[in-house]
């Protein structure tokens, strides 16, 4: 059994004589949990600013990529960046047994903020690794700002 906990409002804490922020059960069967044992599913919310920064990075590098003779389609460029950064899951063909790769989704429901930050950093690092030698100082500095 998994009990989901939420942060209660300050008004409720004052009514219940709590001193500070506390986690309270939202399920009626919480009284069945032995004292001192709590299960919680805690996730760090995604930051919309970081999501926008990621796609600004993709747009900026897409604008630069014509000097590298890479894909002219923005969606393919975005997927190529994730592939270069190793943001993939291995899939095995049930018919042939061959290993293939599927790009990981960075959608809000598939990836938490911490994992997203790691993916973003790996994309920036992969871009610099593969294309850094072809960039001038101004371009490199603009990339490092991400």
Which two tokens mark 117? 């930050």
Report the percentage of the chain scoring pLDDT > 90.
47
The pLDDT score that the predictor gives to residue 72 is 80
Helix-helix angle 137-144:113-131, to 10 degrees: 170
User: How much is the mean pLDDT over the chain?
Assistant: 80
Alpha-helix residue ranges (DSSP H) falling in the chain? 10-15, 48-64, 74-84, 113-131, 137-144
**Is residue 93 within 8 Å of residue 83, measured between CB atoms?**
no
pTM of the model: 0.67
Which tens digits make up the pLDDT trace of 97-106?
Answer: 999 999 999 9
Mean pLDDT to the nearest integer, 102-111: 89
Cβ count near 104 (within 10 Å): 17
């Amino acid at each position: 059994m998994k009990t989901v906990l939420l942060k209660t409002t300050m008004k409720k804490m004052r009514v219940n004589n709590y001193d500070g922020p506390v986690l309270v059960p939202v399920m009626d069967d919480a009284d069945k949990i032995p004292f001192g044992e709590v299960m919680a599913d805690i996730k760090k919310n995604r930051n919309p600013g970081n999501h926008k920064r990621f796609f600004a990075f993709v747009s900026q590098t897409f604008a630069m990529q014509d000097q590298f003779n890479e894909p002219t389609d923005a969606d393919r460029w975005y997927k190529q960046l994730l592939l270069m950064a190793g943001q993939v899951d291995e899939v095995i063909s049930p018919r042939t047994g061959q290993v293939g790769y599927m790009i990981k989704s960075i959608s809000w429901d598939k990836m938490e903020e911490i994992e997203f930050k790691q993916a973003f950093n790996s994309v920036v690092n992969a871009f610099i690794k593969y294309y850094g030698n072809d960039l001038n100082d101004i371009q490199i500095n603009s990339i490092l700002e991400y």
